[in-house]
Structure 1
Amino acid sequence: MDKYMPISWYIGTEWTMPAKGLRKQVLSLDNFKFLNKPHLVSKVVVKVEEVQNLNGRESQYLSNELIEQEQKVEIGSALTPVDCYVELLVRQLVVGERARCFIATKTEEIRFILTLIKIEETKEIYKLNVAEMYALAMRYKENGVVMFKQYPYFAHAYFSRAAKFLISYKPFEGLTLHKDGISSEEMQMLFTQIQTNLAACLLNEQRYDDVLYQTKFVEEHPNATEKSIYRRAMAFYHLKEFEKAQKLIESVSNYQGKKEFAKLHQRLGESWKTSNEQYKNVVKRMFS
């Protein structure tokens, strides 16, 4: 039947994702029968060949030790920018496809040949149960924590994806360990941790209003973590909401003995004093 015949027009065509600087050129399709592509949750076997212009960039998938060997890839486990992009390219291949792939950089393109040999496991996101979704969000959160210091943009992407997955189960109150494999308390705790991680990314990006949005839970939960309180206070400080920042800091037990809180509290006092003096000078000039 025609539907089982190779799709001749697919061979030799090019796929691009300009926003990410990615593209691929199909070289061949061996034993093509079905349009099977990996989903976001997948374990696959691939082979990498002819890597060019990596130029010392970190990559597990494109490392010299694994070139021209079959290697297993679990989508969503990448811990470097190059590997995150390789996973995106893997998801654009069908089983049996061999393609020349390109990742744009500031200087020249990273080039390599990628073959998707087989898909061992794959599952659509909407088919995951609560416990599976929790485990996936936890993995993304942990990946983001590992990448945050060196690759904050990619950490932010992991945290955002994890938060979106968990939001689909809100409100969490109806979840139980017996029925869902995860309790509402566990789900809420993970969601709060991810919001706190997102706040750190947003502080780096100077998106202070967004930090306040992500840390609203601090005002609602008396047992909010010190990290979340500190990041909310930092956002208030940068927005010159000095009184709100001070109240938050002073709500923390023994804040004077905690280096970061004590330092921010001191900065607040100095900034508040400067702001008041500037205001007085403005008024004085207006009425002198």
Structure 2
Amino acid sequence: MASHEQASAWHRFWERGGWWRSLVAVAVYYALYQGLSIVVVSPVAASIGEDPAAAIWVDYALPIALGGVLLILFACSLGWLRGLFGPQPIRGPWWMWIGVAVPLLFALLHVASIDYARAGPGVVIAWLAAGLCIGFAEETLTRGVVVKLMRSAGYREISVAAVSSALFAALHAGNLLSGQDLLSTVIQLVYTFAFGICMYLTLRVTGNLIWPILLHASTDPSTSLMAAYPADNGLAGVAGLGNFVVIFVGLVLLIFIRGRVAEPRADGLTPDA
């Protein structure tokens, strides 16, 4: 009986949704992610030597993959897995495709601006795997769990987009702890907020979480590979403008987001229209 009541309380807490539960979910995830990085990843990292591909697997792919496993377990505990990865309850108008096209265009430019021979197949494969892990975990958390929590509380979609993107950006504030300077971190937070808006628009217009996951997964590895191994073909300069264009597009398109998903609440009440 106690176990059943405990499970019911767990479900009732999360099914009510809301912005502060979204904040709790992201904060707990981040704390667990950092803890796993210290306990599991650090001992492995100390034994890999100078192999750059191995460093990417251990420093990037492994910890974020463990974070993804935590999110799957969390979603399963609430019975949300099918809902998170199933068809979305609201779709978007044609203009939302701009939020898909812009990051996709610059991801393709990044891909075309990489010196693959210098990078080597091991590094490229490692970054592709890390990108998939990053895209899966970060999108499942922010465009999956956070969007679900915000919609469950009856928030308008502009608030859903803004809060999910703000929490996505906040995840990157921890880079200050790893030695990144303040100005670079502030710019990164603005970029990740705008990029998060584009990922939200991708979720809306495609109707399925898998597409922002894949679009996000194409962005991180292509950006990192281009920065480390730029090709001498003149495209890197154009591709490097991507951050500024994404910031502009994301912030402008946020203004036009409309709609609301009025899901039934766990207490049986329907959110106000």
TM-score, normalised with respect to structure 1: 0.26
Say which structure is richer in helix.
2
Say which structure is richer in strand.
1
| Higher RCO structure (Cα 8 Å, ≥6 apart) | 2
TM-score, normalised with respect to structure 2: 0.27
Structure label with greater radius of gyration: 1
